């Protein structure tokens, strides 16, 4: 009998503290029909991974290899795969929509309730040397785009990109407020606003992050530990307010977000850390014709668009630490600590 090929991987053995992540030798998967075996170059560590590790989402059943922010090279393809070949450079997005339900057919795959295998949740993901993924979950990278940029396309860059371009319809010279600006998505938002020639006001709760936000390209930084930044935003914009708020924190900053909006302004809600109901003055909403819209991560088409934009504008994601795969537990400890600026990357 032929010996099975092995690989290194970080396996979630049980829910709990970072130490439940075990660096181990496991059997390398083989691509089945419609599947692609990807040799992973790098995988981002996401706040969602910390939530999953703690067992706060019931869909994950250990043992599981986590990680959905991966990029790498196709090493083998299964039966019926025509769009990919060994050697192709690819990145993934997080969910696989069914393609058949009403929402999928009307072009809203992010609303699909029959997703088939979310990477790193219901199927093994990127904390490994290899991952076996559905071909529908992969897109090819633009020519010459580094893996370490592309792996952040779907989860880190796509939500602020959709907020700024699709919800905000932001043009050069317009103003954008970004709450929770020092996280991976906030720094991405600052970079996207700058690439469009627009201007950003970064909101942070901590004085210690001001320099990093300016270095990332924020035009203004407002330190507001209590979420009452609306007045300062109006002052910075000559009393008018901003055209868009990219809301990454949610209920604690929502009131400040509303107070920051100019007439006709948009508020794109990407994050909600607390789950507390918010108050909206509906009279003002009507008079000012404000728009409030929820935004999720990318589907396939959106990921292609985001990667193209990042590459075209030479956007380099802020990577706070690059760690070997064997230090995944350490990466989780670091990300759980609020001093992190930007993202952590695992490299097999
Ligand atoms: Zn993520
Ligand atoms: Zn569907």
Both 227 and 252 in a single domain? yes
Handedness of CA 227, 51, 149, 343 (dihedral sign): positive
Both 17 and 144 in a single domain? yes
Task: Find the domain containing 98 and state its range.
Answer: 6-152+317-347
Q: What was the pLDDT predicted at 279?
A: 92
Both 113 and 195 in a single domain? no
Domain count, the chain: 2
CATH of the domain at 244: 3.90.180.10
| C-alpha to C-alpha distance for 299 and 302, rounded to whole angstroms | 5
**pLDDT tens, residue by residue, 8-24:** 999 999 999 999 999 99
> Ligand 2 center to residue 80 CA distance, Å?
21
Ligand nearest to the CA of 45: 1
Is residue 191 assigned to a domain? yes
Is residue 304 assigned to a domain? no
- By the 8 A CB rule, do 110 and 39 touch? no
> Ligand 1 center to residue 50 CA distance, Å?
10
Both 219 and 275 in a single domain? yes
> Ligand 1 center to residue 237 CA distance, Å?
33
> Ligand 1 center to residue 46 CA distance, Å?
4
Looking at the chain, the whole-number percentage of residues with pLDDT higher than 90 is 80
Ligand nearest to the CA of 107: 2
Both 98 and 229 in a single domain? no
> Ligand 1 center to residue 281 CA distance, Å?
33
Q: What was the pLDDT predicted at 203?
A: 98
Both 83 and 181 in a single domain? no
> Ligand 2 center to residue 97 CA distance, Å?
5
- Among 220, 236, 234, smallest CA distance to 263 is for 234
Is residue 165 assigned to a domain? yes
> Ligand 1 center to residue 155 CA distance, Å?
5
Both 123 and 194 in a single domain? no
**pLDDT tens, residue by residue, 263-293:** 999 999 998 878 899 999 999 999 999 999 9
Both 178 and 275 in a single domain? yes
């Amino acid at each position: 009998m032929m010996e099975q090929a092995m690989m290194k991987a970080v396996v979630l053995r049980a829910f709990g503290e970072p130490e439940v992540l075990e660096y181990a030798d496991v059997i390398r998967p083989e691509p089945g029909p419609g599947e692609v075996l990807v040799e992973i170059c790098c995988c981002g560590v996401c706040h969602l991974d910390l939530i999953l590790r703690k067992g706060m989402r019931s869909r994950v059943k250990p043992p599981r290899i986590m990680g959905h922010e991966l990029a790498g090279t196709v090493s083998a393809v299964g039966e019926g795969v025509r769009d990919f070949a060994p050697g192709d450079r690819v990145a993934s997005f997080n969910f696989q929509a069914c393609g058949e339900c009403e929402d999928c057919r009307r072009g809203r795959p992010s609303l699909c309730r029959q997703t088939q295998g979310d990477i790193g949740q219901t199927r093994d993901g990127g904390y490994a040397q290899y991952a076996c993924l559905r071909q529908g979950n992969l897109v090819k990278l633009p020519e010459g785009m580094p893996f370490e940029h592309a792996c952040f396309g779907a989860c880190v860059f796509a939500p602020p990109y959709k907020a700024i371009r699709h919800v905000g319809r932001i043009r050069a010279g317009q103003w954008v407020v970004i709450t929770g600006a020092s996280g991976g998505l906030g720094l991405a938002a600052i970079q996207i606003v700058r690439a469009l020639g627009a201007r950003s006001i970064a909101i942070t709760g901590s004085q210690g992050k001001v320099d990093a936000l300016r270095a990332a390209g924020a035009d203004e930084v407002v330190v507001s530990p209590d979420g009452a930044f609306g007045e300062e935003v109006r002052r910075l914009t000559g009393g008018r307010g901003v055209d868009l708020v990219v809301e990454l924190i949610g209920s604690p900053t929502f009131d400040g977000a509303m107070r920051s909006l100019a007439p006709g302004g948009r508020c794109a809600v990407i994050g909600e850390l607390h789950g507390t109901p918010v108050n909206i003055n509906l009279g003002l909403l009507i008079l000012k014709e404000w728009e409030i819209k929820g935004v999720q991560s990318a589907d396939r088409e959106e990921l292609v668009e985001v990667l193209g934009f990042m590459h075209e504008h030479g956007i380099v994601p802020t990577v706070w630490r690059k760690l070997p795969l064997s230090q995944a537990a350490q990466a989780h400890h670091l990300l759980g600590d609020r001093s992190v600026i930007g993202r952590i990357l695992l490299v097999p």
